[in-house]
């Protein structure tokens, strides 16, 4: 209840910000991509993690406005970095199932890209398995719009949701993000390493790219590389960074 109360007007009080974490290619030196992660410094409650406040924002409906703010800020920032000559591929944002279900969401995303002069083909939406599990007409229409405009979709935290995988063929998914719990276990447990390998094979068989999250050690990175994983993300490469630090990271990595 406290959080719900404090969320009220938080956008207008400018309490949200974004941090950015790079995703690097496992092989070769193509430009990295960037995931945006939301941060909230509440005037009343102090810093509050999205893991804590997103579920509450979903329950009280505020997630729609917060999600719009995130998309707007990401496209604005990406365009600024592009115009500054920094080289990167996609920017990725986490999108809640409730945003997807909101009428006109896809059209709003495209309009927002146009307004900022940011190509929709370089704005990736990270969805959880639970957002994809229901197959409704509204969801299909939403994905049709994304597909028409080339908006890439990624399944976040892959492997922790449901064992129903029909959605992988039903919806235009480009990327699987292996949940970091598998990456953390893969060096200690042969079975877990088999799971990450199987996810890489599954993704590739379906024509998708596979990303590993939560890569913290060189040993994890090299095993994932050997398994054919396409992109890596985690503290080994960088923590989530403030915009200014992200600029420096991009400059020093190219
Ligand atoms: O960045 P951090 O580890 O605190 O993120 C915790 C959780 O919050 C993760 O599951 C992440 O996907 C989610 N999250 C971070 N930023 C956003 C956002 O902008 N929107 C939504 N819906 N979830 C986010
Ligand atoms: O669910 P999602 O993948 O969007 O969540 C991203 C969260 O994971 C962010 O809050 C980020 O801070 C966290 N994160 C990113 N890299 C690492 C890592 O290498 N190790 C751990 N433990 N967490 C990470
Ligand atoms: Mn994510
Ligand atoms: Na994740």
> What ipTM is given for this predicted complex?
0.97
Q: Is the CB of 124 under 6 A from ligand 2?
A: no
pTM over 0.90: yes
* Residue located nearest, by CA, to atom 10 of ligand 1: 51
Query: What's the 215 CA to ligand 2 centre distance in angstroms?
Result: 9
> Atom of ligand 1 at shortest distance to CA of 93?
19
pLDDT value for 166:
86
> Atom of ligand 2 at shortest distance to CA of 179?
3
pLDDT value for 130:
87
Ligand 1 — pocket residues by CB below 6 A? 37-38, 49-51, 54, 70, 93-94, 96
pLDDT value for 165:
86
- Report how many domains make up the chain: 1
pLDDT value for 140:
92
CA distances from 186 to 122, 197, 206, 217, 232 (A): 31, 10, 23, 12, 14
Give the mean pLDDT per block of 10 residues along the chain (254 residues).
94 98 97 98 97 97 97 98 98 97 96 98 95 88 97 96 83 96 97 97 97 98 98 98 98 90
Q: Is the CB of 157 under 6 A from ligand 2?
A: yes
pLDDT value for 162:
73
pLDDT value for 134:
83
Alpha helices by DSSP H, the chain:
2-7, 50-60, 63-83, 97-101, 105-116, 129-132, 137-148, 167-170, 180-185, 190-205, 218-226, 243-253
Query: What's the 38 CA to ligand 1 centre distance in angstroms?
Result: 6
CATH code of the domain in which 106 resides: 3.20.20.450
Q: Write out the residue range of the structural domain in which residue 9 sits.
A: 2-253
pLDDT value for 240:
98
* Residue located nearest, by CA, to atom 23 of ligand 2: 214
């Amino acid at each position: 209840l406290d959080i719900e109360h404090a969320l009220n007007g938080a956008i207008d009080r400018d309490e949200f910000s974004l941090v950015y974490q790079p995703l690097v290619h496992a092989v070769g030196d193509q430009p990295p991509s960037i995931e945006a992660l939301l941060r909230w410094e509440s005037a009343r409650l102090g810093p509050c993690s999205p893991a804590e406040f997103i579920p509450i924002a979903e329950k009280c409906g505020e997630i729609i406005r917060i999600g719009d703010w995130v998309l707007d800020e990401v496209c604005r920032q990406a365009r600024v970095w592009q115009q500054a000559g920094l080289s990167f591929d996609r920017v990725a944002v986490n999108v809640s199932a409730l945003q997807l279900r909101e009428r006109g969401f896809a059209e709003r995303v495209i309009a927002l890209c146009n307004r900022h002069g940011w190509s929709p083909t370089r704005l990736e939406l990270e969805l959880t398995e639970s957002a994809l599990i229901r197959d409704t007409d509204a969801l299909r229409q939403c994905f049709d719009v994304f597909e028409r405009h080339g908006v890439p979709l990624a399944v976040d935290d892959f492997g922790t949701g449901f064992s129903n995988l029909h959605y992988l063929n039903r919806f235009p998914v480009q990327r699987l993000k292996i949940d970091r719990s598998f990456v953390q276990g893969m060096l200690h447990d042969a079975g877990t390493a088999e799971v990450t390998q199987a996810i890489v094979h599954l993704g590739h068989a379906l024509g998708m790219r596979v990303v590993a999250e939560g890569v913290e050690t060189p040993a994890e990175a090299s095993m994932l590389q050997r398994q054919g994983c396409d992109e890596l993300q985690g503290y080994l490469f960088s923590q989530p960074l403030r915009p200014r630090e992200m600029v420096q990271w991009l400059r020093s990595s190219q």
